Amino acid sequence: MSNKEVDKLVEEQLMLEIDVVDDNVYNERLEHCVECPSLVYDTTCSHCGCFVKYRAKLAYKECPHPKGPKWKKLQPS
Ligand code: SF4
């Protein structure tokens, strides 16, 4: 699957989600992912198998890194 196909799939799936983070949190999470050695194919977290562009948008998800989450904990709203 090409990165463009992944982007389209992620976009379609995210339209169905309501518990999502704002763009600041989303981009901050993705910044960690692009620097992370656990990111494979430029799209996928090797620990959970998720497309990071999808997982990072979901408020109820955490970074699954076995040494501890790399994403910042969300402040309770
Ligand atoms: S371990 Fe965390 S930071 Fe690394 S790719 Fe997976 S979700 Fe992203």
Amino acid 75: pLDDT: 79
In short, whether 33's Cβ falls inside 6 Å of ligand 1 is: yes
Amino acid 57: pLDDT: 98
Given a cut of 80, is residue 76 above it in pLDDT?
no
Amino acid 77: pLDDT: 64
In whole numbers, what is the pLDDT of the chain averaged over residues?
Answer: 95
Q: What percent of the chain has pLDDT over 70?
A: 99
- Ligand 1 atom at minimal distance to the Cα of residue 55: 7
Cα dihedral 47, 23, 41, 35 in deg (nearest 10): -70
In short, whether 39's Cβ falls inside 6 Å of ligand 1 is: yes
13, 54 in Cβ contact below 8 A? yes
In short, whether 61's Cβ falls inside 6 Å of ligand 1 is: no
pLDDT tens digits for 45-67?
999 999 999 999 999 999 999 99
Closest Cα to atom 3 of ligand 1: 33
Cα dihedral 23, 28, 34, 40 in deg (nearest 10): -70
In short, whether 72's Cβ falls inside 6 Å of ligand 1 is: no
Helix (H, G, I), strand (E, B) or coil at 13: helix
